[in-house]
Every structure is written in C-alpha cells, then in structure tokens.
Amino acid sequence: MANLKTNVNSNILISDTMNLDRKRGSYMDKQVYTDYFFDEPAFNTHDGGYVALETPTTQQTPLAIPALAVPDSETVHEVSYTITAQESSAQLLPGKRTKTWGYNADILGRTIILQDGQDVHITLKNQLPELTTFHWHGLNVSGPIIDGGCHAPVYPGKSSKIDFTLHQQAATTWLHPHPCPSTAEQVWHGLAAAVIVKDKHEASLHLPRNYGVDDIPVVLQDRRFHEDNQLNYRADYDPDGVQGPTALINGTVNPYFDVTSQRLRLRLLDGANRREWRLHFSNDLPFTQIAGDGGLLPDAVDLTHLMITCAERAEIIVDFSQYHAGDEVVLYSDDTPLIHFRIHDFKADPEPLPTHLLDIQAPTVDPATPIRKVVMSGMDESVMLDGKKFDMQRIDAEQPMGQAQYWDITNTNDMTGGMVHPFHIHGTQFLVISRNGHAPYPNEHGYKDTVGVNPGETVRILVRFDLPGIYMYHCHIIEHEDGGMMAQIESYDTSKPQPTYKLMDMETLSKAFAAERGIPVSELWMAGMDSYAKMGMKM
Ligand code: C2O
Ligand code: CU
Ligand code: CU
C-alpha cells in the first residue's frame, strides 16, 4: 500500500497501524487487535427493531458444507456451468421440512469455483415460480446484463446464458438474486451461493485450501421459523431489514464442525438481510484475517474480534495448535454460540503462515478528477441515496472506464440512534482510503466491494471500473436497497461512441410478478414497493 500515500490528499492521515502492519514481520511481539472497530452506539443491538439471536435448543448437527458445483465442462482456459434456481425444502429443524429455494441445492447453493483468466460460460435456469436474476456479487464482470442486477430477469421456466472472461485475483465472492424490489425476499427464501475465485499467486502461499476439510465457506444468516417450521417473509417484514432469532450457518441450525487439521480457513460471508455479526471465539482465541471481499489483504492481521456487515466477506485462519482431541472451541456472535468446533487429532503444521500476502498497487488519481460525493440518508421507508430513491430507468452518474476516482460515501444518520449502512458497488473492487480523514481499519487494506459506513461518517474509497457498463451501487441492508437506497452509474469507453443500454422498468417487472402470482398488479405486495408508497413516491 506504500504508493497509496503519495496519492492521498495531504489532509488524510496516514495510519500508524498501516506502517506498523507493514513492518510487523520484523516485530517479535505481534500486534493483536481486540476491538470491532465500528462505532458501538451504531451496533444493530441498539435498533428499536433489533431481534436478538437465541441460543439454539435443538441438538447440535454437523455443519453443512455446500457441495461443489460440477462444471458442464472444464479446461484450464475455460469453464461452463449450469446454475439452476430451484424450489425445494430442507430439514432445518426437527419436524416439518422448511420450504426453501436454492441454487442447484435445497437451500443456499453449490459452491462455484472459477479461475482467474478463464473464459466462463454460465447457463442460468429459473425453475422458481417467479422471475429472478443471478447477481455475481464481487465479480469483475460488466453490468447491466452479465452481472445479473435488476435489468437481467430470467422468467420462470426459462433460461439464459452469460459469457465472460474473468480477470480477478483469488477471492470469496457470491451469487444472489437481485430482482427489484424483491431481492430481500428471494434471499430470505434461501438463494445465496459462495463463488470462489482462485489464482496462481494465492495457490503459491502456505494457506489451507482443502475444500470442506480445512477450507470452508461459512454463510452467516438468521431466520424466524413460523408454524410448521416455515418462513414467512411478509410477517417478519421490517423496512430496516428483516431479522430472525435463529442463526442459520450454511443452512444449519446449531452446527458443529469436526476439526482434523491444525489450521482452519473460514470464508466468512455475511449473507443476512440485515444482521451484523460480531464474531469472536471462546477464550478470545486470536485468529488471523488473510482476506476481505476482493481477495488477500496486503498483510495478515491478527484479531480476537471481527465485525462484518451485510454482504462483506472475511477469510480468517484459526490455529488450533494449543488444543487437543476432545476440546471444543466455540465461535460466537455477541453472546450467541454459532459453531462448535470439535477438535480431533491433527498433524502439526510447524510452517508459519505468510505475513505479507499481496502487493497492492493503488491506481494513480489525476488531481483534476473531482471527488464523487455519495450520500446515504434515512432509515426505515425514508432511506435514500443522494436524496433520491432508485429508478431503474435513470442513470445517476458516469465515470470513464479505466479512470480511478475518489468517492466520498457519507452516512448522514445521527451518531446517536443511527445505523451502519454497508455500501456496495457492482462490477469492481475498490480500496478504502480513509474514514473521516483517518486511516481505514487495519483489516480493510485489501480490495473490497462493500464497506460499512458509520453514522456521521464519510468513507473515502478509490474506485475504478475496468469494463464498460451500468453498475448499481447501494446499501446492502437488503431491505434498504429494495426500498430505494440505490443508484446506478455508467462506465464508458472514452474511445468509443457511448452505447445505449436497454434498461428494465418497474411496470414490466410488476406485471410479470403479478401474472406469476396469478393476481392483479393492484394486489401485488413486494417489500420495496411499500417503502416507495409510504414516501408517496413512484417506483
Ligand atoms: Cu450483493 Cu447489488 O448486490
Ligand atoms: Cu453486487
Ligand atoms: Cu442501509
């Protein structure tokens, strides 16, 4: 990150921790961070509508490890997948099975593996009773069609195909639906899958990568189970984000995991609609964060506590060397146990983890380039982005392709009583430059696509689009994005005439949803519509 320094305005403080981190390899005493970094008064536990997690009373069951998606064909240079969004049911609690949706699975989805440099061909099949889209959150692919935002519906019984060449470093990204304004409800039904990008550099490092054994995705979600163990999104609806008291980890209630290696790599994903996870292990066992949303951090960071906001990912390595067969280590969020790690015999791995992981070259910013201001305001139905609610037909901003630009993302919520809004941009990975002029948190020096913004805070990020297209950007509390806290930007190739894009419109989507549900449009209820209606605004 050294060259970040020269690019940042002189009023930005360069962090001590940044320098410390860089030099840490030479320190005998490793620095271990012990706080969550985010502003405590903004934690979701202070929300009026906060739903506390309950400690499960059902029997511990093995943590589900999503199966790997099987490619239709694969070579080093090319891979084809068929991804089917389907209706199903899953045994989540004793008794009745819960009706769920999933990608090639009963719930969540099979994990998709892609390699940097591959030509990727994906057939998207919709076997749900209603339209959906397939959004590749965190992949460097172009919008508005390939990235699967609201402009790319696949209707029930239909399929479509996307093709792209992936240029991206190793990272944990994910797939989820994005049909406006019903993203939140479709995610609540169970649609979400891990998409793991691999590359040569990551493969050369001494890190655990035996999928399902010492390298596992951990999708953190929460749900409320109603009568007969069923989900009822509308009954639980809250415009500030739907929550439930039961933690669901990879679709498992009250999971345990059998540890058979000294080190375990957890690819944590906050796949919840609204919940923040404040993670820590029993006995404050320190762990090492090696990656964020967009891949490896420049330097590994040692922590005892980690907070992730909606859609964020963190890859951590937990070292169980001080434990023995028969011991148990518990992962908590606040005070609620999430996963019980049952320690078994393992082979000692004396080789230390790498401390320097990745060289990051921040792109140079032309000082003449203005700083883009983005404002997230409101709570409940009043949420807006730049004082407006999202309009699929409106392009809110433009940025030349390949040009790096600072974006200042402001959360105008009150510092007392406000909330952290996780800000996300499609189709790119950005760098976090500063928070209110101060250094970013020690564990956010890598590429990111989602950043939590505290109330009263302005987070400066450095954004570049490498592909032309239309990209949505929004709060990732999913009810907030459905409720209109979202906008879209066009990235264009300055050497070519600007293309015109065919953008989706609300009328087409609501007619389709109504027809699929067999009701007149006037009876259609979709969470996001409510927010517009209550504000007297047209969708
Ligand atoms: Cu997770 Cu608009 O995306
Ligand atoms: Cu996204
Ligand atoms: Cu928000």
How does pLDDT run across 87-102, given as a tens digit for each residue? Answer: 999 999 999 999 999 9
Cβ of residue 135 lying under 6 Å from some atom of ligand 1: yes
Question: Which has more pLDDT, 17 or 149?
Answer: 149
User: Would you call 55 exposed, middle or buried from its count of C-beta atoms within 10 A (0-12, 13-18, 19+)?
Assistant: exposed
Q: Which of 10-19, 67-76, 477-486 has the lowest mean pLDDT?
A: 10-19
Which ligand is the nearest neighbour of the Cα of 184?
1
The residue whose CA has the least distance to atom 1 of ligand 1 is 137
| Mean pLDDT on 266-276 | 98
- Say how many Å lie between the CA of residue 14 and the centre of ligand 1: 31
Cβ of residue 448 lying under 6 Å from some atom of ligand 1: no
Nearest ligand 1 atom to alpha carbon 472: 2
pLDDT at 27: 38
Maximum separation of any 2 CA atoms in the chain, in Å: 69
Average pLDDT over all residues of the chain: 94
Nearest ligand 1 atom to alpha carbon 174: 1
Positive or negative: CA dihedral 316, 319, 323, 325: positive
Q: For the chain, percent helix, then strand, then coil, each to nearest 5?
A: 15, 35, 50
pLDDT at 23: 36
Positive or negative: CA dihedral 420, 487, 458, 456: negative
Q: Which of 197-211, 441-455, 519-533 has the lowest mean pLDDT?
A: 519-533
- Say how many Å lie between the CA of residue 421 and the centre of ligand 3: 4
Cβ of residue 426 lying under 6 Å from some atom of ligand 1: yes
Is the preceding omega at residue 181 within 30 degrees of 0, hence cis?
Answer: yes
pLDDT at 415: 85
| Mean pLDDT on 493-504 | 94
- Say how many Å lie between the CA of residue 37 and the centre of ligand 3: 19
pLDDT at residue 479 is higher than 70: yes
Token reading at 447: 């590429």
- Residues ≥6 apart with Cβ < 8 Å to 464: 363, 402, 403, 404, 405, 428, 430
- Say how many Å lie between the CA of residue 111 and the centre of ligand 3: 28
pLDDT at 4: 35
Q: How far apart are the C-alpha atoms of 79 and 123, rounded to whole Å?
A: 11
pLDDT at 25: 36
pLDDT level of residue 470 (50, 70, 90 thresholds): very high
Q: Each residue of 412-464: pLDDT tens digit? A: 999 888 999 999 999 999 999 999 999 999 999 999 999 999 999 999 999 99
pLDDT level of residue 331 (50, 70, 90 thresholds): very high
Residue 234: its H or E element = helix 233-236
CA geometry: angle at 486 spanning 400 and 249, to 5°?
110
Cβ of residue 274 lying under 6 Å from some atom of ligand 1: no
Cβ of residue 424 lying under 6 Å from some atom of ligand 1: yes
| Mean pLDDT on 190-207 | 98
Q: What is the pTM of this model?
A: 0.94
- Say how many Å lie between the CA of residue 135 and the centre of ligand 2: 6
Neighbours of ion ligand 2 (CB under 5 A): 137, 426
| Mean pLDDT on 139-150 | 98
pLDDT at 167: 97
Helix (H, G, I), strand (E, B) or coil at 516: helix
- Residues ≥6 apart with Cβ < 8 Å to 250: 63, 64, 65, 66, 108, 217, 218, 219
| Mean pLDDT on 214-237 | 98
Q: Which of 7-11, 57-61, 173-177, 483-487 has the lowest mean pLDDT?
A: 7-11
Nearest ligand 1 atom to alpha carbon 137: 1
pLDDT at 29: 64
Could you give the C-alpha distances from 145 to 62, 71, 200, 286, 333, in angstroms and in order?
38, 22, 29, 42, 36
Q: Tell me the percentage of the chain whose pLDDT exceeds 70.
A: 95
Nearest ligand 1 atom to alpha carbon 486: 2
The residue whose CA has the least distance to atom 3 of ligand 1 is 137
Amino acid at 539: M
Query: Which residue reads 């009963």 in tokens?
Result: 106
pLDDT at residue 11 is higher than 60: no
pLDDT level of residue 3 (50, 70, 90 thresholds): very low
Q: How far apart are the C-alpha atoms of 468 and 400, rounded to whole Å?
A: 8
Amino acid at 335: D
pLDDT at 529: 87
- Say how many Å lie between the CA of residue 376 and the centre of ligand 3: 7
pLDDT at 539: 79
Token reading at 188: 């609540």
- Say how many Å lie between the CA of residue 242 and the centre of ligand 3: 12
pLDDT at 169: 97
- Say how many Å lie between the CA of residue 31 and the centre of ligand 2: 33
Cβ of residue 462 lying under 6 Å from some atom of ligand 1: no
What one-character DSSP code corresponds to residue 29? Answer: S
pLDDT at residue 283 is higher than 70: yes
Q: Which of 488, 503, 457 is nearest to 386 (CA)?
A: 488
Cβ of residue 151 lying under 6 Å from some atom of ligand 1: no
